[in-house]
Amino acid sequence: MTKWRRKSRWKIKGKGRLKTPQSKREPVFRRPFAIISRPNTRHLPFPTIMTAKPAKRPVNGVLLLDKPEGLSSNTALQKARRLYNAEKAGHTGVLDPLATGLLPVCFGEATKFAQYLLDADKAYTATLKLGEASSTGDAEGEIIATARADISLAEFQTACQALTGNIRQVPPMFSALKHEGKPLYEYARKGIVIERKPRDITIYAIDITEFNAPKAVIDVRCSKGTYIRTLSEDIAKHIGTFAHLTALRRTETAGFTIRESHTLEALAELNETERDALLLPCDVLVRHFPKIELNDRAVTMLKCGQHPQFIEDISANQPIRVYDHRGAFVGLAEYQKEIGRLKALRLMNTAKD
């Protein structure tokens, strides 16, 4: 009598070899399942379970960030972006890794108006070490030359006064300015020196807050494009010695002050609602421009690329802040006085509103 044996539904006739996939280039989940003799085999192509990342949020606004020392501006930006889980972000003005202080970060629609903050005046607190020249102009470089450091306060004051006002400044090699598509610091790291043209800048004031040679601390108010590293070297050069920066802190830009800023550590301790409450509206970036209010028809024309008629005593050929009759910020426009019409420059995207 033959003993009855239950057949496994996985058992196949013949030699029991696996079926060959149609193509090795096919994705695993599109290949035919291998037919084998045991159901508990490890060769079955079970799918891997992957956890999806949380969707980015459409965050709009401006964060006044207090950048810490040791981080590049872009690294600080990305850390802030992750804290807010924002779709889009950008900063308004680069700070060196050595520098700390005010770094306005723009989220979402605010990035459209970030360029207008780049042209703003700025203020810094700089700490100088007299008598030593650095390869980079700051404490991150190597000391390449030394000279006398017994500078008197009167000498230092005279040099600061000589460099106050409209001056010409040669940008340093260790800077983000580009030459043939590459930043200058890449050439500097290879020992290549590129000729740089001097640029017109304005030093509004240099206030000496501490002086104990070889250490000096100054508060500088200046125009855009000013390199404080170069300014410290020029001050020392006027005296007949060397100097480099040991600390730099941006304290103000476009009317925003360091007292209004927030650190990454403080932001990390807040919940989403509390962090969002710290954001400033997008129009703070252009608050220095004149303001007008339009009716709904004129606003619609601007958004459709048309030029609504506008007759008012206002300066022509400059950006104008546009608001609707409810007080909502629409964007920036330019008044073309010769034809008495407005032309859109940068508009808010209200499609998601």
The mean pLDDT of 79-98, rounded to a whole number, is 91
Catalytic status, residue 313: no
CATH topology match: 61-119+257-276 vs 122-253 = yes
In the predicted structure, residue 30 carries a pLDDT above the cut 60:
no
| Weakest mean pLDDT among 68-72, 144-148, 206-210, 308-312 | 308-312
Domain ranges of the chain: 1-48, 61-119+257-276, 122-253, 289-347
Q: What does the pLDDT look like over 243-269, one tens digit per residue?
A: 999 999 999 999 999 999 999 999 999
Q: Which two tokens stand for residue 299?
A: 């606003």
Q: Is the pTM of this model over 0.85?
A: no
- State the CATH architecture for 61-119+257-276: 2-Layer Sandwich (3.30)
Can you say how many angstroms the Cα of residue 226 is from the centroid of all Cα atoms in its chain?
18
Q: 63 φ, ψ to 5°?
A: -110, 130
- Rounded CA-CA distance 297/320 in Å is 18
pLDDT of residue 35: 44
User: Which entry of 96, 138, 234, 283 is annotated as an active-site residue?
Assistant: 96
- One-letter amino acid for residue 305 of the chain: G
Q: In the CATH hierarchy, which fold is given to the domain comprising 289-347?
A: 2.30.130
pLDDT of residue 22: 53
Q: Which two tokens stand for residue 270?
A: 């807040």
**Proportion of the chain above pLDDT 90, given as a percent:** 62
In the predicted structure, residue 37 carries a pLDDT above the cut 50:
no
Range 122-253 has CATH code 3.30.2350.10: yes
Q: Which two tokens stand for residue 320?
A: 């104008």
Q: 80 φ, ψ to 5°?
A: -65, -40
pLDDT bin (cut points 50, 70, 90) of residue 320 is: very high
The mean pLDDT of 317-334, rounded to a whole number, is 92
Q: What does the pLDDT look like over 165-221, one tens digit per residue?
A: 999 999 888 877 778 788 887 888 888 888 889 999 999 999 999 999 999 999 999
DSSP line for 249-316 = EEEEETTEEGGG-B-HHHHHTS-HHHHHTTPBPGGGGGTTS-EEE--HHHHHHHHTT---B---S--S
